[in-house]
Amino acid sequence: MQLAQIETLETEGDRAHDRIEQLIRKIHQIHPRLQQRLAFAVTKFPRNMATRNSANNDLLAMTIEASLVKVSLVRGQTHNTLYDYRFSKNPEFNMKRALVAAHAKLKEDERKMEEEEGALDRELADYQKLLDIVDGGGNVSFRQIIADSARVEKETEECRRDLRRLGWTGEN
């Protein structure tokens, strides 16, 4: 039984081997034709594709140029509409003059604010000097004087209470 199986397997192996050889021969026959078709396609289509790409590139360039011209036109119209606008009551007044006047006013406000800032800086410096004195610019600080004064006031009030308990009325 094993001998029969071995013979069957050998026969199947031989058939598979023959089939593989047939396929290889077929591929070798088909291969030159495929090579020839590929060479033809490579030589023919790039010219067509290059022509088509060139036309597409030219169309794209013209579209971009037309868009740039349109944008330039819109910019010019916007500029004229905005800056050459004239008021119906007084045609001498236009947007350009209004913007120049607004700019001058803003510059004047800026100058005034800088002056005010300088005055505030000087005032803050004066306050800082005063705080330095209060916080202890010398040997005896103002804070210590305040603390001592509060302590003396408190002790004086305690003494008055003690005297009242002892019968002092505070007259005389």
pLDDT for the residue 124? 94
**For residue 117, pLDDT beyond 80:** yes
pLDDT for the residue 137? 62
Q: What is the pLDDT of residues 91-108, one digit of tens each?
A: 777 777 888 889 999 999
The two tokens of residue 99 are 């913007």
pLDDT for the residue 168? 80
pLDDT for the residue 73? 93
Share of the chain above pLDDT 90, in %: 31
Q: How far is CA 58 from CA 22, 47, 73, 102, 116, in A?
A: 53, 16, 23, 48, 63
> For the chain, what are the domain ranges?
1-83, 90-137, 141-172
Treating both helix axes as pointing N-terminal to C-terminal, what angle do 142-165 and 95-136 enclose, rounded to 10 degrees? 60
Whats the size of the chain, residue-wise? 172
CB-CB neighbours of 141 under 10 Å: 14
Share of the chain above pLDDT 70, in %: 85
Q: What is the pLDDT of residues 36-66, one digit of tens each?
A: 887 777 777 766 677 778 888 999 999 999 9
Q: How far is CA 22 from CA 12, 15, 19, 26, 116, in A?
A: 15, 10, 5, 6, 102
* Higher pLDDT among residues 154 and 144, named by residue: 154
Least confidently predicted of 33-42, 85-94, 161-170: 85-94
Least confidently predicted of 30-34, 47-51, 123-127: 47-51
Averaged pLDDT for residues 59-87 = 87
**For residue 12, pLDDT beyond 60:** yes
Distance CA 16, CA 28 (A): 18
**For residue 141, pLDDT beyond 70:** no
pTM: 0.34
Distance CA 114, CA 108 (A): 10
